[in-house]
């Protein structure tokens, strides 16, 4: 397996940093909120904060100019104080997911070479998540909306196209990116900018391997996060580059993230799709950019937590 991106999330953005938004001014998509809350309740593989993992929020990160390679560190310790790796290795969807994190070259502009073994790993991951109640419900919803084919085999084929098909992100070189690589693993652009990297398992593994340095949380003045929150906006460096603001779910299963972003992708044909949703105790703006028939990027942007928007 090619090891160029190492292990590397928590977080989610395309290539630009977007300011935090006043949640009170947002129009909530109630239908989408309803199905996502169903999926939230079905996500039995979501890990529990304080039990399965512990995070240390520390200080609030400062402002960083886009493209800067320096950020003042307001967190002397890692974000993740503890993660039950035994639990990750024994839950099938996580164990299959983690095998995919070293299958990519970090830099865009460098063609990816996917081996037969890596294709097998991609298929094993999709098979695993399709057996979960989360993905079964997401598939049923999409079929009801006439946005997905009824056969699970056909749906898996479409998921592969959405998430694992290689395409050109950089015009130079060969096919150098995929939706999965961008969102869950992370990439770099011109050796100067972090793109994607919106998954908490990747964030933890890269932090553990000393490739990623958490700089602090990002939040509005009156919306300081709690250590048991399942969504965070953060600032971090990765292989010496800075992500001024990245956002991601924490503790949720990979099938949950795949399900919600697949729903948003398939229920819209716009180049850029956004939706404000109330999910559990959080208000989020979900963002998906498409790259033809595939995911370009996808991430949740935390607007409000702990029901402060109510």
Three-state DSSP class for 215?
A: strand
Report the distance separating Cα 122 and Cα 254, nearest Å.
Answer: 13
DSSP annotation of 23 reads G
- The residue annotated as part of the active site, out of 139, 198, 230, 301, is 198
- The residue annotated as part of the active site, out of 139, 156, 215, 243, is 243
Q: How confident is the model at residue 204 (pLDDT cuts 50, 70, 90)?
A: very high
Residue 222 is predicted with a pLDDT of 66
Whether the CB-CB separation of 167 and 292 falls below 8 Å is answered with yes
Nearest to 219 by CA among 304, 300, 102: 304
User: Could you give the angle at which helices 133-144 and 152-163 cross, rounded to 10 degrees?
Assistant: 100
Residue 12 is predicted with a pLDDT of 35
What are 248-282's pLDDT values in tens digits? 999 999 999 999 999 999 999 899 999 999 999 99
Q: Which two tokens stand for residue 131?
A: 């057996």
Q: What is the DSSP string of 216-272?
A: EE---TT----TT-SEEEEEEEETTEEEEEEEEESS--HHHHHHHHHHHHHT--SSE
Q: Is 239 noted as a catalytic residue in this protein?
A: no
CA angle 3–234–251, rounded 5-degree value: 70
What are 79-118's pLDDT values in tens digits? 999 999 999 999 999 999 999 999 998 888 788 888 999 9
Q: pLDDT at residue 26 above 70?
A: no
Q: Is 182 noted as a catalytic residue in this protein?
A: yes
Residue 123 is predicted with a pLDDT of 98
For the question of whether the overall pTM of this predicted structure is more than 0.75, the answer is yes
DSSP annotation of 177 reads B
Look at the block and give the residue holding tokens 């150098």: 176
Q: pLDDT at residue 190 above 70?
A: yes
- The residue annotated as part of the active site, out of 182, 215, 230, 301, is 182
Q: Is 198 noted as a catalytic residue in this protein?
A: yes
């Amino acid at each position: 397996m090619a090891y160029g991106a190492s292990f590397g999330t928590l977080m989610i953005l395309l290539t630009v940093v977007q300011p935090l938004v006043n949640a009170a001014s947002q129009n909530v998509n109630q239908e989408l909120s309803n199905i996502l809350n169903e999926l939230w309740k079905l996500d039995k593989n979501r890990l529990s904060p304080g039990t399965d993992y512990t995070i240390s929020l520390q200080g609030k990160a400062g402002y960083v100019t886009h493209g800067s390679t320096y950020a003042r560190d307001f967190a002397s310790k890692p974000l993740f104080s503890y993660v039950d790796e035994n639990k990750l290795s024994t839950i099938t969807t996580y164990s299959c997911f983690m095998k995919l994190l070293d299958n990519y070259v970090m830099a865009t502009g460098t063609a990816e070479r996917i081996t037969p073994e890596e294709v097998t790993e991609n298929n094993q991951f999709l098979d695993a998540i399709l057996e979960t109640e989360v993905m079964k419900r997401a598939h049923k919803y999409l079929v009801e909306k006439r946005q997905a084919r009824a056969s699970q085999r056909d749906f898996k084929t479409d998921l592969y196209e959405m998430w694992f098909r290689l395409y050109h992100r950089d015009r130079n070189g060969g096919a150098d990116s995929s939706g999965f690589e961008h969102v869950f693993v992370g990439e770099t652009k011109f050796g100067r900018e972090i793109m994607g990297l919106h998954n908490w398992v990747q964030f933890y593994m890269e932090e553990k391997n000393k490739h990623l340095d958490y700089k602090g949380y990002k939040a509005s003045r009156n919306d300081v996060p709690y250590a048991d929150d399942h969504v965070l906006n953060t600032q971090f460096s990765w292989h010496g580059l800075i992500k001024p603001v990245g956002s991601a779910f924490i503790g949720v299963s990979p099938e949950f993230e795949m399900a919600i972003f697949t729903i948003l992708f398939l229920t819209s044909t716009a180049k850029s799709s956004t939706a404000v949703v109330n999910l559990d105790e959080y208000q989020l703006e979900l963002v998906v950019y498409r790259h033809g028939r595939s995911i370009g990027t996808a991430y949740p942007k935390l607007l409000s937590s702990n029901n402060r928007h109510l």
